[in-house]
Structure 1
Amino acid sequence: MAAGRIFIGVGGWTFEPWRGTYYPEKLTQKRELEHMGSTMTGVEVNGTFYGSQKPASFRKWHDEVPDDFMFTLKGTRYATNKKVLAEAGESVNRFTSSGIVELKDKLGPINWQLASTKKFDPTDFGAFLKLLPATQDNRALRHAVEARHESFANADAVALARENGVALITGADAQYSVIADPTADFVYLRLQGTSEDNEKGYSEKALDTWADRIVTYAKGGVPDDLQTFGPTPEQTPRDVFAFVISGHKEKNPAAAIALIEKVQKLAG
């Protein structure tokens, strides 16, 4: 059965406790992204949420990882922290025109993370989705929204996202509602439940479960053990972006690498 591409990684690559554990001893800091590119297939960049990067930085990142590695970027907080999302157009455009296209084919979806206090307002949310540009400098852009308030867990939010081809991020193993509905041609997962008690962050059983869900999504299905709110979409292959983000962060690389191995075995 045909399947979409699968990219698995963690959040960021600069974290001191990973040095000497995930990163080899004596590896210079400037080579950490290169090392990540040799062990994982993607990374979510959190720093772009807080401040802009120079185009030269995106070019440098592009050149330090293999061709099959993908970057997802947190969209600027100046767009998503507005009381009225419909007024975020200028901030959105400033971000997408800031040089992110220098990542070229390694540019994955942009994660527009809403504040956990931001409640679902169909008019405002729909207006925000329409502000997200389909292209930048002739390069296609893909967008995902991380809606963390429980009020987004409903069929109307799913319908709006699907109408605009924007993914609703499935945040898992955390205090936020799980919205597992695919609403775009890709799925974006943020796994947030690693613990100190497990060598690989998650138990083998939990890793097996997540690997199965990831492969199910890639083949166009929807995991039957995660909560959905809208009608089941047509079964077509989808790209999947899955990042082990929070929880016990020291264990996140081990969890991501274990997931990659299990997914590869399942996908055959």
Structure 2
Amino acid sequence: MRHALEPRHASWADPEAHALLAEHDVAMVVSDLAGRYPMFEVATTDLVYVRLHGHTRLYRSGYEPASLEAWAQRCHRWRAEGRDVLVYFDNSAEGRAPHDALALMRRLET
């Protein structure tokens, strides 16, 4: 079983918090929360769990091609580091999640 934590407060930017998560093999979630909460792009385990909640509007907005390309590049980089990468789209209030997931999958096939 793997564990992941999705913090939503700036206090989690502390390297001591990252070290504690790493010590207990807990992944810090990389989450895009439309700027409402901070995003922590810190890999604390061999798992990178990405939650995409909407790029400009929380739970509602889709992801533009350039943004999806940037996420694909991050995913490729994490995989090259030997990490497992899971991406979950939670921008489903207006039905964008499946479309964005398919678009990201196409970018990751290359």
Q: Same fold (TM over 0.5)?
A: yes
Distance 1:255 1:247 in 2: 10
The aligned counterpart of 2:28 is 168
Task: State the 1:243 CA deviation.
Answer: 0.9
Q: TM-score, normalised by structure 1?
A: 0.37
Distance verdict in 2 for CA 1:254–1:260, change over 3 Å = same
Segments of 4+ in structure 1 off by > 3 A?
Answer: none
Deviations 1:231-268 (A, max 9, x none): xxxxxx01001111137541110000000010111xxx
Task: State the 1:163 CA deviation.
Answer: 1.0
SS at match of 1:250: coil
Kept in 2, the 8 Å contact 1:169–1:188? The answer is: yes
Q: 1:181 aligns with which of 30, 42, 45?
A: 42
Larger Rg: 1
Task: State the 1:201 CA deviation.
Answer: 2.2
Distance verdict in 2 for CA 1:159–1:249, change over 3 Å = farther
Task: State the 1:192 CA deviation.
Answer: 1.5
The aligned counterpart of 1:46 is none
Q: How does 1:1-268 map to 2 (within 5 A)?
A: 141-174=1-34, 175-194=36-55, 201-220=62-81, 237-246=82-91, 248-265=93-110
The count of residues paired between Structure 1 and Structure 2 equals: 106
Unaligned runs of 5+ in 1: 1-140, 221-236
Distance verdict in 2 for CA 1:248–1:187, change over 3 Å = same
Distance 1:252 1:184 in 2: 26
The alignment yields a C-alpha RMSD, in angstroms, of 2.0
Distance 1:241 1:149 in 2: 22
Distance 1:247 1:176 in 2: 18
Q: Which amino acid aligns with 2:91?
A: S
The aligned counterpart of 1:31 is none
Distance verdict in 2 for CA 1:245–1:160, change over 3 Å = same
Kept in 2, the 8 Å contact 1:190–1:244? The answer is: yes
Q: Which amino acid aligns with 1:181?
A: V
SS at match of 2:16: helix
Deviations 1:126-174 (A, max 9, x none): xxxxxxxxxxxxxxx1110111122112111101001111101111143
Task: State the 1:213 CA deviation.
Answer: 0.7
Kept in 2, the 8 Å contact 1:145–1:168? The answer is: yes
Kept in 1, the 8 Å contact 2:62–2:91? The answer is: no
Distance 1:217 1:248 in 2: 29
Unaligned runs of 5+ in 2: none
Kept in 2, the 8 Å contact 1:211–1:263? The answer is: yes
Q: Which amino acid aligns with 1:164?
A: H
